Amino acid sequence: MKANDMTARDHYHTHVYPSPFHAGQEKANKLKVWSRWADYLSVPAYYDASLEYFAARNSCAVFDLTPMIKHRVSGPDALAYLNRLVTRDVARIKPGRVGYAVWCTDEGQVIDDGTIFHLTEGVYRVCSQEHQIDWFLTSALGFDVEVVEETHEVAALALQGPTSCAVLKNLGLRGIENLTPFGSQAFAFAGTELMVSRTGYTGDLGYELWISPSHAEVLWSSLFEAGKHHGIRALGSQALDITGEFRQRCGIALGELLDAGGERLRYTV
């Protein structure tokens, strides 16, 4: 197994990174309030969390996914390793497909949930809410596999809502309407590769866009230009919290459960 060297990012020089989309976020952030998600600045609400929520329900909304923790898994034992790590049969996630999964302790205690992208034959991306590299590397003992955290190498946006497909068609992604749920496809965009997956947190029509950070700003501006007649809005983390009902609707486990008194409950699968 092998892990990447995060010291090359000189992370100790700064408390938090601006997102690759920061220029667009700063312009859209009318409230001028910032929060933190993992290693990055994040926006709680751009103008009004309720209106941002309804944009995701009735037109489309854009949420910065860059802070989501991303791991690349590859090597001869990649499939065997992932089947040991998570609670589903990863062999059923073919190249170009995405699967939802949870991973647990040996006692069945849920650690986190996330999505597994089968990028190319034997190469996977595992996305999670929290940093998982310690657990992933511990679980890799005995496997011929490379596990690399690549959060800083991939910029990402979620585009969710009923007009999202129309916006991507306006962006020039030919054939995007044929992408099926939990499918992914690479498109040429602005001289680079843009990967689009039909995934998201709403349980309704939506996509996630994955691109090199060097092309993040042009993606943000191009996306909002393509969606200007389709009700596109930026969406902050407060509106995302309201959409917790969406995760339940599409059968995705919540990150934590609360009892009637507001106490966190431990749960198993």
Partners of 159 in beta bridges: 62, 207
Q: Do residues 56 and 160 make contact, with C-beta atoms less than 8 angstroms apart? A: yes
Query: Which residue has better confidence, 186 or 262?
Result: 186
pLDDT of residue 263: 46
Q: Do residues 86 and 116 make contact, with C-beta atoms less than 8 angstroms apart? A: yes
**Averaged confidence pLDDT in the chain:** 88
Instruction: Kindly state the average pLDDT of the residues 160-174.
Output: 97
160 pLDDT band, cuts 50/70/90, is very high
Does residue 59 lie in a domain region? yes
d(CA 163, CA 75): 39
Chain segment 37-66, per-residue pLDDT in tens: 998 999 999 999 999 999 999 999 999 999
Does residue 130 lie in a domain region? yes
Does residue 182 lie in a domain region? no
Number of independent structural domains in the chain: 1
Does residue 224 lie in a domain region? no
Does residue 84 lie in a domain region? yes
Q: Is 32 exposed, middle or buried (0-12, 13-18, 19+ CB in 10 A)?
A: exposed
What CATH number corresponds to the domain at position 21?
Answer: 3.30.1360.120
Does residue 9 lie in a domain region? yes
Residues of the domain holding 116: 1-152+232-269
